[in-house]
Amino acid sequence: DVRQKDRLLDITPLDRDCLSYFVFSLDGKIRPNPQKTIEEQAKAQDTINKLNLNIYKLKNRRSQILQDTYNWLQQYRDITSLKKLLIKDKNGHFVPFYFVPLHYYGII
């Protein structure tokens, strides 16, 4: 990644508990999880900074999927239906940013 360059990350998507270090807000911003230790929060913030995870484009995409999910929930009132986001399409891909609403609503 251009932003990361050759800098090592303390938290990577390859970590099984990667998402547990972060929380998402409705505006799409990603922040360190306040339930983690101060050291873990610092690692999360460092990762956010190194990867520039709060640029407008990424925040907008996360915010949009959260808004779409909220609208879905208002219509269908069934949070378990969000598990459909865990199903890959015919090409073997997840919906972009699928993990944001799943994490936000505590499904993963």
Weakly modelled stretches of the chain, pLDDT under 50 = none
Q: Which residues contact 80 (CB under 8 A, 6 or more apart)?
A: none
Q: How far is residue 63 CA from its own chain's centroid?
A: 10
- Residue 1: what pLDDT? 57
pTM > 0.85: yes or no: no
**SS3 assignment, position 82:** helix
- Residue 5: what pLDDT? 62
* Distance of alpha carbon 34 from alpha carbon 28, whole angstroms: 17
- Residue 3: what pLDDT? 58
- Per the CB < 8 A criterion, the answer to whether 32 and 26 are in contact is no
